[in-house]
A and B are shown apart, each in its own frame.
Chain A
C-alpha cells in the first residue's frame, strides 16, 4: 500500500507557465482533496471531489482547475502560474467510515518566480 502519492516533489515555474500536479491513492476512497499550505495560514482547501466524476470548489479555487480522472487519480492544474501560487500543495483522500480521517500525500513545494 503506497497510500497517497504526489508528483513532483519540487517545482519551480516562471510567471505565466502552466503545470499539472498529479495525485493518486490506492485505498479505494471516494473523496479526494487538494490543499495549499502557507506559513501561518494552515491548510486551505482548493478543490475537492466527493466521488469519481464530480468536483467542487473549495475556499481558494481561483487560478486552479482539477480533473478526477478515475477513482484513484485527482490532478490539479495551474494554467498560468502567479507568484501568489508559491506554496506547498497537498493531496489527500478521505475514509468515510469510522474516523473520517484524511490521508495526505508528501506534498509538492512549488515556487513561482
Chain B
C-alpha cells in the first residue's frame, strides 16, 4: 500500500531562517503532490501543487521541489516568521486513483522569535 513519511519530530527554527520540510513516499506513482497547512483546531488549507513533470514551484516565500526518482518532495519557507508556525501536510494524488489524496501525518513547524 502507499506510504508517505514526513518528519515525525517537530522542526524548531529561529525567525528569519529557512525551514525545510521533507515528504518521502513509496509504492506510489503520483501525478501531483500538494502541500497543506493546518492550524490547531482547524481543517487543512491548500498551499501549493507540483506536478510530476515539474522540478520546482514557488509562491511568495514558499518553494516546493519534487524528485520522482528519489520519491521525495522538499517544502521550503524562506524568511520564516512566528506566524508560519503550524502543521504542514503533504498529499499525493493521481487521476489513476480518481484524484483521491493520500496524506502524510504532517510535520509541526515552530518558528521562534
Q: A101 contacts B100, CB within 8 Å?
A: no
Q: What chain A residues lie within 8 Å of B93 (beta carbons)?
A: 100
Which A residues lie at the B interface, using CB under 8 A? 4, 31, 33, 35, 40-45, 48, 50, 58, 90, 92, 94, 96, 99-107
Q: B46 contacts A101, CB within 8 Å?
A: yes
Q: A41 contacts B99, CB within 8 Å?
A: no
Give the docked Cα–Cα distance between A107 and B8 (Å). Answer: 23
Q: A103 contacts B46, CB within 8 Å?
A: yes
Q: B99 contacts A106, CB within 8 Å?
A: no
Q: B49 contacts A42, CB within 8 Å?
A: no
Q: Which of B42, B46, B89, B100 contacts A48 (CB 8 A)?
A: B100
Q: A42-B89, A42-B106, A92-B43 are in contact. Are A102 and B101 (CB under 8 A)?
A: yes
Most chain B beta-carbon contacts within 10 A, residue among A40, A99, A105 = A99
Give the docked Cα–Cα distance between A106 and B42 (Å). Answer: 5
A35 CB → nearest B CB, Å = 8
Give the docked Cα–Cα distance between A25 and B80 (Å). Answer: 33
Seed contacts A40-B8, A42-B89, A101-B46; 12 additional CB < 8 Å A-B pairs: A31-B99, A42-B106, A44-B103, A48-B100, A50-B98, A90-B43, A100-B34, A100-B49, A101-B49, A102-B44, A102-B91, A105-B43
B6 CB → nearest A CB, Å = 8
* Residues of B60-109 whose CB lies within 8 A of A: 89, 91, 93, 98-101, 103-106
A31 CB → nearest B CB, Å = 7
Q: A107 contacts B41, CB within 8 Å?
A: yes
B111 CB → nearest A CB, Å = 22
Residue in B closest to A45 when the chains form the complex, CB atoms: B100
Residue in A closest to B44 when the chains form the complex, CB atoms: A104
Q: What chain B residues lie within 8 Å of A101 (beta carbons)?
A: 34, 46, 49
Residue in B closest to A103 when the chains form the complex, CB atoms: B46
Residue in B closest to A90 when the chains form the complex, CB atoms: B43
Q: Return 12 A-B CB contacts under 8 Å, by A number.
A: A40-B105, A43-B44, A45-B100, A45-B101, A96-B99, A100-B49, A101-B46, A103-B46, A104-B43, A104-B44, A105-B43, A106-B42
Most chain A beta-carbon contacts within 10 A, residue among B41, B43, B100 = B43
